[in-house]
Structure 1
Amino acid sequence: MTRPRILCISFSDITADSRVLRQLDVLAEFGDVTTLAYGPKAPAALDHLAVPRSLPSLPQTPVGVLKLVLRRYRAVKLEAPAMKAALAAVSGRSFDIVVANEARALPLAFKIEGDPHIWCDLHEWAPEERTHVSSWRLLVAPFMRWICEVYLPRVEVSTTINDSIAAMYTEAFGVEPAIVRNAIAYRRDLKPVQTDPEIVRLAHSGGAVPGRNIEAIVEAVELLGDGYTLDLYLIPSREGDSYWRGLMRQIEASPRTTLHPPVAPHELPDVLNAYDLGVFVLPPLTPNHRHMLPNKFFDFVQARLGLVFGPSVETDRLIAHHQLGVVTEGYTAADIAAAIRAIGVDDITRFKKNADAAAYELSSARDLETERQILAQLSAC
């Protein structure tokens, strides 16, 4: 029996995109996978069509921006430099199934030859992804909403990261996405590490980009003083050079903070397991921030850490339900320090034990089964 030809589109570097890497492993169970993305080929892909990293996936050329201003969305939907390169790369190829990662990939997905079945994985709430940036809010947000209005009702399957964001898609566009969280694989081999009563070890991992509030965490560990350390595993931003330089100056001035090289997604639980509390406090600059359920939440759980998170609908609920840690009052360094200062060694031990108990439920097992059901459905069509 001939295996389906599957095209996976993602305007990210797949080798550093843990969500898409998990997705690819499932795709490879069902068919022969070609990836169309930035960066090198991922292990699960049979073939790879590389889009040059330097090409933006949104129409940021002068002509493209003018068309966004004039709301000429049909004329601009495939005009972004990365879109043009992607179209050229798939020219003459046909596929049975196309997976479009994020709404911006949908116009391209509907140009693929072979009349493929289309699954759109809406990682987050596309219409307001970066509305804290004025140019994005004024020009790109209406374009993303138009893409969702035109294309989402035409896809056969859609998915997104949590119930809150799924409800937003249902209300706005009449679609009912299935839930595929950013959870990672269950780590049966990891257990909680005993906390040193003399030193509480804090950890944070992820992208070092403006808005992530990393500087507040660094400031908080200085407010906490002796008996606390902070270890950072950061991925520098391609577009945030000035922010990165300022953050480096702050880290270098903090004797309690240590910066480490970034760690591959599958290695993070092993590395983080040595710490006590995973810290992530994201100000609600966008609806996605207010309804976040980020991969680092699941990284910390699999590492068997206690959690210190800023207020957010989905993480608040899970932290309370599983008794995994604390939610700060707000998003400032003082808020973070106050929340951590109130946590005793016995609390940390209890949080770690609860993370261990919840690790399977909060692993990717359920999400991978959802993806398998989707692909079984599409393969049978």
Structure 2
Amino acid sequence: MSLTDPSRDPRPRRIVELCVSMGLAVDVLGLPFKGKECAFPKIQRHLKLSPLGTGVQNKLLRRIWALCAAVSPVETLRCVFDSWRFNFKGWSKKLSDESFDLIVIEDLQLLPLAFQIKNGAKLIFDAREYYPKQNEESPWFNFAEKPRRIQLCRKYMVRCDTVVTVSEGLREAFKKEFGISSVLYRSTPSYVDMPVRLTDKDHIKMVYHGAANRNRQLEKLIEILVLLDDRFSLDFFLVGSPGYQSELKELASKDSRIRFMKPVALDEIIPIISKYDIGFFYYEPSTFNLKHCLPNKFFEYIQARIMVAIGPSPDMAELVKKYGCGVVSESFSVESMAEALNGLSCEDIDRAKRCCDVAAKELCFEEESKIMRGIIQNLIGE
């Protein structure tokens, strides 16, 4: 169950692939596929949710329903408002007579629906964020969204048979705040067998790919690049927020070493970024989730056999230091990150690339999926 298009969302897609590979008959509740359906695993049914409207009126209605869900004293009404807001109204009735063995839930707001249709099924909740602080920089979130998120964690998440999450920092937060024990299940891509490409000492190519979210402060990457010597260049592969992308392009317009490339399909990411030398993402810990993030791109850079360059984010820095696969700045500042990068030699980068080649064999879906496979087998006895 996902509020996204699971064919283009790496984490739920990999769980579907795993379940299919285990011989399970899989139904997927999610948005319509936008990619090539033939590339998606052969599932039993695709239960299609209606996409959210993008007009001003739709956005206003969703805000009203969010506020109603947050302040309503009755849980039944809260669930109704959530179903209107995320367009899964009516699915409880449609699926009420189904008999599932296992339900995997990818979004917090779908938990009430999962409990309404479980009929004895085991529930796995995939906590991809620490939800009470997901957008804590936003006053609206703190006022209207946060109360409902806390309600959902306390009423539903605590009752799931298994909770998995993406980093140790998030595990600790769920345990401390809600008493929820969870299993670390990282967002690793499938193993790719590829050679290590040596670095051109005169042209060190850096890359960033991902969503153009303002809270990631991607302008900091541009500020850092400006402080780097002429060996360095930076290419962005961005999706989302056209307005923010335009601002970034304007900010970078005076430096010809910065380019904005067309985004690529999920399956093309690793082959494309393998042509670079450094996977660059510097996130200052402006929010709890950014501080403890361990995102897809971190592991994709490793599979691409390119050096990882980050700030001292604890969950990522621990792995970089363990495997020697990158560089970590001394502190969270543009100047510190620039100093760390300027101090790199061609030999340093190639050494980190070779360490990525070792790490790629362990930090891959083939290894990580053993955790989820074990959880599923324990829950349903397959």
TM-score with structure 1 setting the length: 0.89
Alignment of 1:55-94 (within 5 A): 55=53, 60-69=62-71, 74-80=76-82, 85-89=87-91, 91-93=93-95, 94=98
Cα deviation code 1:173-208 (max 9, x no counterpart): 2222111101111112x1211101111111111111
Aligned to 2:272, the other structure's residue is in SS state helix
Partner Cα distance (1:254, 1:14) in 2: 37
Q: What is the Cα deviation at residue 242 of structure 1?
A: 2.6
Aligned to 1:201, the other structure's residue is in SS state strand
Please identify, of 135-144 and 87-96, the stretch whose mean Cα deviation from structure 2 is larger.
Answer: 87-96
Aligned to 1:49, the other structure's residue is in SS state strand
Cα gap change, 1:211/1:193 in structure 2, threshold over 3 Å: closer, same or farther? same
Please identify, of 325-334 and 112-121, the stretch whose mean Cα deviation from structure 2 is larger.
Answer: 325-334
Cα deviation code 1:190-232 (max 9, x no counterpart): 1211101111111111111112222221232232242211111
Partner Cα distance (2:60, 2:130) in 1: 17
Q: What is the Cα deviation at residue 307 of structure 1?
A: 1.1
Q: Select the residue among 149, 159, 183 that pairs with 1:154.
A: 159
Cα deviation code 1:97-122 (max 9, x no counterpart): 21111322211111115332211111
Partner Cα distance (1:221, 1:309) in 2: 13
Partner of 2:337: 336
1:150 partner amino acid: K
Partner of 2:375: 374
Partner of 1:19: 11
Alignment of 1:1-381 (within 5 A): 9-28=1-20, 29-40=22-33, 43-44=40-41, 45-55=43-53, 60-69=62-71, 74-80=76-82, 85-89=87-91, 91-93=93-95, 94=98, 95-112=100-117, 114-188=119-193, 190-235=194-239, 237=240, 240-380=241-381
Q: What is the Cα deviation at residue 73 of structure 1?
A: 5.1
Aligned to 1:79, the other structure's residue is in SS state helix
Partner Cα distance (2:272, 2:84) in 1: 35
Contact 1:97–1:117 (CA<8 Å) still a contact in 2? Answer: yes
Cα deviation code 1:306-329 (max 9, x no counterpart): 111012111111111111121123
Residue correspondences, number: 369
2:162 partner amino acid: V
Partner Cα distance (1:379, 1:228) in 2: 52
Aligned to 2:214, the other structure's residue is in SS state coil
Q: What is the Cα deviation at residue 21 of structure 1?
A: 0.9
Cα gap change, 1:152/1:81 in structure 2, threshold over 3 Å: closer, same or farther? closer
Partner Cα distance (2:29, 2:69) in 1: 26
Partner of 1:3: none
Please identify, of 62-71 and 320-329, the stretch whose mean Cα deviation from structure 2 is larger.
Answer: 62-71
Q: What is the Cα deviation at residue 90 of structure 1?
A: 5.3
Segments of structure 2 that go 5 or more residues without pairing to the other structure are none
Cα gap change, 1:112/1:40 in structure 2, threshold over 3 Å: closer, same or farther? same
Partner Cα distance (2:61, 2:175) in 1: 27
Aligned to 1:335, the other structure's residue is in SS state helix
Contact 1:128–1:141 (CA<8 Å) still a contact in 2? Answer: yes
Higher strand share: 1
- Give the superposed CA RMSD: 2.4
Partner Cα distance (1:218, 1:259) in 2: 12
Cα deviation code 1:328-359 (max 9, x no counterpart): 23444433322210111110011111111111
2:90 partner amino acid: A
Partner Cα distance (1:376, 1:15) in 2: 24
Partner Cα distance (1:294, 1:150) in 2: 27
Cα gap change, 1:59/1:10 in structure 2, threshold over 3 Å: closer, same or farther? farther
Contact 1:251–1:259 (CA<8 Å) still a contact in 2? Answer: no
1:227 partner amino acid: R
Q: What is the Cα deviation at residue 38 of structure 1?
A: 2.1
User: What is the identity percentage for the equivalent residue pairs of Structure 1 and Structure 2?
Assistant: 25
Contact 2:67–2:145 (CA<8 Å) still a contact in 1? Answer: no
Aligned to 1:270, the other structure's residue is in SS state helix
Cα gap change, 1:70/1:91 in structure 2, threshold over 3 Å: closer, same or farther? closer
Q: What is the Cα deviation at residue 59 of structure 1?
A: 8.2
Partner Cα distance (1:135, 1:86) in 2: 23
Partner Cα distance (1:368, 1:261) in 2: 31
2:79 partner amino acid: K
Q: What is the Cα deviation at residue 266 of structure 1?
A: 2.6
Partner Cα distance (1:231, 1:218) in 2: 10
